[in-house]
Chains A and B, each alone.
Chain A
């Protein structure tokens, strides 16, 4: 049986994504760099503040890696958690790894330290973009059960590459938040099929928000990441104008769509209703059918 990415802890993901026994942790649990804020609120902290960072090799090449633990505070970004990510990107500027790989699983800002988290998210974003400016590719791997939302959803889309499994989700606001704001008719958060076809890996793949879709398998993520090493995407005016055109075009083409099924139909998927039950490996064909926005 495969090693489920979604079921693995952040530590297990790192250990099995990188070359065996190559991972060296920075500010590991023994250093106890923990949140100073949670205890004040009567909440136990975690010895790594919910993010494992360090370096190791991937297919023999030096990479930096960060993995968020979705079970701890939903992977929420707090002061220390965010600073560890910032530090990793800054250090990458010095050591020039073949990539910085982020295994993102987060609801976004950690509410218990909301202000610090909000600022930290923007600091991570700037540090990430600094690394990209130096030609260091940043690769996001999204396949945890809690998805990648809020501030981490923004950070993810600042990376060079996004790889998702079809269990992974990538979006801004969680369905519960939207439902409580505009009602169940707007977004039924208990309809998981709806939630997944709105935010899940398959939709993100078809619409072009993730470059690769893989099975829920650590090894599949590993192979996808290996294929992306050293591939830096420039953040030039030209590139951003192309992105701008793509997003404008998306708005024009799909702005009236009420459901992902409508989007997929417009993309040229012959029978959108069967997409949910396809395996990730079967999606490649559909993606090539989906004219327009291929990345």
Chain B
């Protein structure tokens, strides 16, 4: 040792001690890196220390569910005050940890199904939240000041050396393991199978310390499957307006779509409506997108050149394998997704993001935060934000930038592009909840949960267009807050916000093309029927894929 007092390698020494404790505790139960599943608690107790920063792989889709359950079984008198860092809180176990006194602090990105319980536990003082991040932000902090001491991850298969195959849903695993393994941390993985030869190596074995064969395959959610049968005529209309009024207008070639029926409708109109407008080859060639089943007809019709994905989608495995020109796949043929890389791609290399939201205020700030829930936003803020570090030019980016700068002087006179950030919403959601509000619920939630800033998903100054069934508001063309407000009111329909519009000013904005109605861009609303969809059912998607897409059973109504 070069430093006799251990001053410069305490982490490495700690790591050595922890591994030694594990070896002692497991005895013959440890074969190489392989730990029997029934020894999981023993292993975790041996390697964890109170106050450790722990990353429990909880992703958007796949979950290290066996390790999550095992972690909740530990004795809180031995293991307590863990600081959990993980992108998604999806399982009840993720919160049980805090209830059981095993963990106390949390840094995360998204809590979807657990958002209501999380809010209650925060209010009761059971959880101390560090911050709610975007995905990219949280991954970045893994490499700065939130580096895990111990990571509990999941993979499809492992070999005897601990090499891992993460399968199509690689998701967060590389980012987590890299941060942990290269900062003297310990990586423990649950796998669905032990094999002699992996199809490919996604994580090298010498980054992995312990491998556990889980009794059941890890949980995985088909989050991105939208049944075309549920797409409404209104959504078809809005998709037509998006394609003709925005995609064609800017020549958008590289883009990301949020999850939802609105965007699924757009994907399903590409080979039909967009084709009839002669747009093939002119829009939508390159995507940062999960393998949405709704994109199959467009891919089959030759619209799509490339798709890089955050994660995979259940049932799409064979289809992806057979379309390796489009998707990123390994030599073995299966998809390699990577959430961190795709988030970066979506942020820097895409010209447009389009997605839905729950509330938009008069400045165009939008949020899906509602009172009584602490949900976070996952990746949407990375996708739905202008990449101010961007320097490469494309026609769509330049045109948006030029519109924003036209007639402006001083610092705004410098030629520069801008990302198109489109919010697509119906003016009323179900149960007549207005999508346009004077004040976002996010303010009340911030106060309730004592947050430093209101949880805004997409900031108004990043939003370039708001598209509703009433029309498209192009905020790039607005000059001044008042115009911006009236442009938003002018597409807010019969919501109180919309009814309070200044009619004369809205008509002025319409004359200037700041607001465009369907008829202004040559769309007859009566043409907006479901028959325009390239697939109207899940079955149609299977047919379009030539039988390669195999939807999960809950989507099979035939």
Contacts and interface: CB of A to CB of B under 8 A. Distances in A.
B232 to A, nearest CB: 12
B539 to A, nearest CB: 8
In the complex, which of the residues A167, A193, A196 has the most CB atoms of chain B within 10 Å of its own CB atom? A193
Given A7-B530, A277-B547, A194 B553 contact: yes
Given A277-B542, A277-B547, A193 B530 contact: no
A137 interface: no
A1 B536 CA distance: 11
Given A4-B536, A277-B542, A167 B553 contact: no
Contacts of B554: 190-193
Interface string A168-205: 00000000000000000000001111111000101000
Contacts of A145: 229, 557
B527 to A, nearest CB: 14
B556 A276 contact: yes
Interface string B537-558: 1000010000100000111111
A192 B553 contact: yes
A49 interface: no
Interface in A1-46: 1, 4, 7
Contact of A191 (B531, B536, B547, B553): B553
B555 A192 contact: yes
A79 interface: no
A74 to B, nearest CB: 16
Contacts of A192: 553-557
Interface residues of B, number: 13
A160 interface: no
B226 to A, nearest CB: 15
A202 B558 CA distance: 8
A69 interface: no
Interface in B379-433: none
Contact of B556 (A1, A4, A7, A193): A193
Interface in B53-87: none
Contacts of B557: 145, 167, 192, 195-196, 200
B536 A196 contact: no
A193 B536 contact: no
Interface residues of A, number: 17
A192 B557 CA distance: 6
Nearest to A194: B553
Contacts of B542: 277
A166 interface: yes
A192 B538 CA distance: 12
Contacts of A195: 557
A192 B225 CA distance: 15
Nearest to A278: B558
Contacts of A193: 553-554, 556
Contact of B531 (A1, A194, A200, A277): A1
A145 B538 CA distance: 13
In the complex, which of the residues B530, B536, B556 has the most CB atoms of chain A within 10 Å of its own CB atom? B556
Nearest to B556: A193
Given A4-B536, A277-B542, A196 B530 contact: no
B536 A7 contact: yes
Nearest to B555: A192
B531 A196 contact: no
A52 B345 CA distance: 54
A188 to B, nearest CB: 9
B553 A166 contact: no
B316 to A, nearest CB: 16
Nearest to B550: A277
A191 B554 CA distance: 5
Given A7-B530, A7-B536, A200 B558 contact: yes
Nearest to A195: B557
A276 B558 contact: yes
Contacts of A277: 542, 547
A13 to B, nearest CB: 15
Interface string A209-244: 000000000000000000000000000000000000
In the complex, which of the residues A190, A192, A194 has the most CB atoms of chain B within 10 Å of its own CB atom? A192
A143 B116 CA distance: 40
Contacts of A202: 558
A7 B535 CA distance: 13
A208 B536 CA distance: 29
B90 to A, nearest CB: 18
A213 to B, nearest CB: 11
Interface string B237-249: 0000000000000
A201 to B, nearest CB: 8
A168 to B, nearest CB: 10
Nearest to B553: A193
A260 B554 CA distance: 17
A191 to B, nearest CB: 5
A218 B553 CA distance: 27
Nearest to A147: B557
A61 B540 CA distance: 35
A194 B537 CA distance: 18
Nearest to B557: A192
A7 B233 CA distance: 12
Contacts of A7: 229, 530, 536
Interface string A131-146: 0000000000000010
Contacts of B547: 277
Contacts of B555: 192
A1 B533 CA distance: 10
Contacts of B558: 166-167, 196, 200, 202, 276
A224 to B, nearest CB: 18
Contacts of A4: 536
B49 to A, nearest CB: 41
In the complex, which of the residues B531, B537, B558 has the most CB atoms of chain A within 10 Å of its own CB atom? B558
Nearest to B552: A193
In the complex, which of the residues B530, B542, B547, B557 has the most CB atoms of chain A within 10 Å of its own CB atom? B557
A135 to B, nearest CB: 36
Contacts of B553: 191-194
Interface in B495-550: 530-531, 536-537, 542, 547
Nearest to A202: B558
A166 B538 CA distance: 13
A189 to B, nearest CB: 10
A30 B222 CA distance: 46
A202 B557 CA distance: 11
Nearest to B542: A277
B230 to A, nearest CB: 11
B125 to A, nearest CB: 36
Contacts of B530: 7
User: 10 closest Cβ contacts across the A-B interface?
Assistant: A193-B553, A193-B556, A192-B557, A191-B553, A166-B558, A192-B556, A190-B554, A192-B554, A196-B558, A196-B557
Interface of B: 229, 530-531, 536-537, 542, 547, 553-558
20 contacts: A4-B536, A7-B530, A7-B536, A145-B557, A166-B558, A167-B558, A190-B554, A191-B553, A192-B555, A192-B557, A193-B553, A193-B556, A194-B553, A195-B557, A196-B556, A196-B557, A200-B558, A276-B556, A277-B542, A277-B547
Interface of A: 1, 4, 7, 145, 166-167, 190-196, 200, 202, 276-277
Given A1-B531, A193-B553, A277-B547, 18 more contacts: A4-B536, A7-B536, A145-B229, A145-B557, A166-B558, A167-B558, A190-B554, A191-B553, A192-B556, A192-B557, A193-B554, A193-B556, A194-B553, A196-B556, A200-B558, A202-B558, A276-B556, A277-B542
